[in-house]
Structure 1
Amino acid sequence: MSRTLPNRRSANRALSALALLALTVGAVTACSDHDSTSEHSASSSAGSSASPGTGRAGETRLHMIDNDGHRLAFHVTQGHGSTIVLDAGGGEDSSYWKGLVPKLHAATGATVITYDRPGLGRSDVVPGPWKVESAVSDLKSGLQQLGVTKNVTLVSHSQAGETATYFAKDNPKMLSGAVLVDASLPPLYTDEEIARLAALSRPQVDAAKKDPDKPQNRQLISTAESYVPMHQAYHRATWPDAVPATVIVSEKTPFDGSPEDVQRWRDAATSFAQDGPRRTLVTAKGSSHDIPKDRPDLVLKEIESMVAAQH
């Protein structure tokens, strides 16, 4: 199912060639544009035993979660009933969603959770190559320690689509649905496309190694270390039929200016949507890859619809 939306120019967050490496860094200015502490409440709950139910409705609280030897920052806006988890794309921390969180909470009344992956925002740096298994473990452990074990709507942008796919496969009973926002999806990663994207991104990876302590560079380097085998495996990954999914695909995609890659990205979204039951394809006409910034109204609408469908 495709929906036609008004044509709008992209916001000034054009993706660079860095996007070619599985959307690892998102927008070029991802980390410099956001202050992950500015939009969150200064109040915090120490330790991993805190439950999101300890905060007042509408109040955002910081919970530091321990998992596998490192600490992760989870930001919880307390609501009731279901839980909406927002997972930003590569190179972005939880502040990416700062404009959407209060609107989602007001529209749905649900608890809204954002979090910082390792090395971003307030979360600890974890050295070594990026592993999707570790990303899934971080998300699951954080939710469990917060007392969230069911009725979760997972909203994943860009590279976070990879975490979402494995999370859904391993934990289908935790999820009531997912909204995949111009997400990295398995059908894209043929051997030909993996080789193409890795080669095109090599100059950016080499440049990132000159400033490895910069957060988005650090994540780019860690993803590059495991890129080929990780995406060969990802190409074979499947989404569970039990979890409904809305797939929002942008018109311009991360590869605006490369018609061949644009078509492959859009074909991957179409293939994914058609490959199982309870999946809906929505096209964000005129939008860049940065749909949550270009079309926040659309993202809000689709999340609301997914949450409402589970009641």
Structure 2
Amino acid sequence: MPENFFILRVRNPGRLRVFSGRPSMPSFVVLALLLVCTNPHPGHSQNVDTLVDVGGYKLHFSIIKGKGTPILFEAGGGEDATNWKNIITKIATVTKTTLITYDRAGFGKSSFDTTRHGILNGVIGLETGLRKLHYSGDLILVAHSQGGLYATLYASRHAENVKAAVLIDATTSCFYEENRLNATQRIIDAQKNNSRKSNPGSYYQGADFSNNINFVRNVSFPKNIPVIDFVAEYPPFSEKKDIDDWKACHKEFAAASPLHTGIMAYGCGHFIFEDNPPLVIHAIVKAYATTLDKTGSHELLKREADYAIDAANDRNREEMAYRHSADDLNSWGYQLIKQGDLQKALRVFKLNIELNPNTWYAYEGYGEALLKNGEKSEAIKMYQKSVELNPTNENGKKKLEQILKQ
């Protein structure tokens, strides 16, 4: 089986790292299994956190109240409401509308009913929660990854109420043709272990994966709903066929209706809203603008212009930080690996050790990139230097030992 890279996102205070490995599974399976550890949602004076009984279990909703057509956010597989924490406050500031995020059953603060799982039950539970919260009318949908499946089903059941949608590198049933789906399900089943009781959300997310895909395969996103569909330039796969098929399915979706707009998110990995927040925020603001009258649109435009200036300034500040900080250069290198640009990552890691010759983790990052590039002997030297600079670097010692045994 060809080498693939397993994407592990670790959120220590504001940091993002990507580690590599050789999982015994295709990369499209990694996407299906992707789980994320997240921090609590940042505080907001208008936030309302509440548990809603949807019949047999409770869903946790986190709502920023405002005025206008509410925007409902569907997180990716294994995610919860905190998935949107880096962009939600900015969207609230610009739109001034109600923003609704929630934890799917078995994730975050939501409980789980083992007799009511699968995507249809998930959407029915969501509908019940929204109705009890008095948000069962018009909505705008924003969905990432597997959340796209839920958004598709929800939109098909509420075609008159969904006024617009923004899909962010969303999972499509098109991508999971029969052979790929069967292979995915077999490997997911082998990975579930004994999580049924300890983590029922993850367990049933995996157990129901094929059924969920096939269920959504039999519905379609209503063609009367305007959709902005983002696809990442660097989807979370290492095999060319997976990447090509993923992009082809998004192209097919965009062509299905004149109201569908397909956008390639250049330079971005699967988490487009983290790699290029302004791109996604502008799309959401654009979708929301279609629900406003002339006066409301004018006021929104002024707020968006203010945000655009701040976003451009923030972008420049981040780039300057990358040029000078060992930590940020290292993070940039890992991000480039995630995006599939190994050669550029190698240059960034090499620059980091040249600028910061006494920083142990700079050598570790360069060693990891060299190993991915098949330069084993050079990688060993980098890991040895990392351990020399930091004798307590247990991860480096372990990795070095593994390489030397190969």
Q: TM-score range by the shorter chain?
A: 0.7 to 0.9
Instruction: Give distance in 2, aligned partners of 1:151 and 1:14.
Output: 41
Instruction: Give distance in 1, aligned partners of 2:99 and 2:146.
Output: 20
Q: Secondary structure at the match of 2:253?
A: helix
Give the match for residue 58 of structure 2.
71
Where in structure 1 are there 5+ consecutive unaligned residues? 1-10, 42-57
Give the match for residue 82 of structure 1.
69
Give the match for residue 212 of structure 2.
230
Spell out, residue by residue over 1:60-80, the C-alpha distance to the aligned partner (whole angstroms, 9 max, x if none). 011211112111111110110
* Partner AA of 1:244 in structure 2: P
Instruction: Give distance in 2, aligned partners of 1:19 and 1:113.
Output: 31
C-alpha contact (below 8 Å) 1:151/1:176 kept by paired residues: yes
**How far apart are residue 20 of structure 1 and its match?**
3.0
**1:12 and 2:26 equivalent?**
no
Instruction: Give distance in 1, aligned partners of 2:209 and 2:176.
Output: 11
Give the match for residue 279 of structure 1.
260
Aligned counterpart for 1:196 among listed residues 167, 170, 183: 183
Instruction: Give distance in 1, aligned partners of 2:250 and 2:231.
Output: 7
Give the match for residue 161 of structure 1.
148
Distance 1:174 1:157, change over 3 A: same
Spell out, residue by residue over 1:230-267, the C-alpha distance to the aligned partner (whole angstroms, 9 max, x if none). 32332232111221111010011122x11111111111
Mapping of residues 229-308 of structure 1, within 5 Å: 229-255=211-237, 257-308=238-289
C-alpha contact (below 8 Å) 1:190/1:235 kept by paired residues: no
Where in structure 2 are there 5+ consecutive unaligned residues? 1-15, 293-406
Tell me the TM-score normalised to structure 2 length.
0.62
**1:35 and 2:39 equivalent?**
yes
**How far apart are residue 144 of structure 1 and its match?**
1.5
Higher helix share: 2
* Partner AA of 1:282 in structure 2: I
Give the match for residue 112 of structure 1.
99
C-alpha contact (below 8 Å) 1:40/1:62 kept by paired residues: no
**How far apart are residue 212 of structure 1 and its match?**
4.6
* Partner AA of 1:300 in structure 2: I
Q: Secondary structure at the match of 1:187?
A: coil
C-alpha contact (below 8 Å) 1:19/1:25 kept by paired residues: no
**How far apart are residue 194 of structure 1 and its match?**
1.4
Higher strand share: 1
Give the match for residue 48 of structure 1.
none
Distance 1:211 1:146, change over 3 A: closer
Distance 1:244 1:13, change over 3 A: farther
* Partner AA of 1:20 in structure 2: F
The number of residue pairs the alignment matches comes to 275
Which is higher, the Rg of structure 1 or of structure 2?
A: 2
Structure with the bigger RCO (C-alpha within 8 Å, sep 6+) is 1
C-alpha contact (below 8 Å) 2:156/2:220 kept by paired residues: yes
Spell out, residue by residue over 1:137-179, the C-alpha distance to the aligned partner (whole angstroms, 9 max, x if none). 1221222211113331110111111111110001112211111
Q: Secondary structure at the match of 2:174?
A: helix
Tell me the TM-score normalised to structure 1 length.
0.80
C-alpha contact (below 8 Å) 2:226/2:260 kept by paired residues: yes
Give the match for residue 193 of structure 2.
209
Spell out, residue by residue over 1:16-75, the C-alpha distance to the aligned partner (whole angstroms, 9 max, x if none). 76973484443x5x12xx133x5246xxxxxxxxxxxxxxxx510112111121111111
**How far apart are residue 304 of structure 1 and its match?**
0.5
Aligned counterpart for 1:185 among listed residues 168, 172, 177: 172
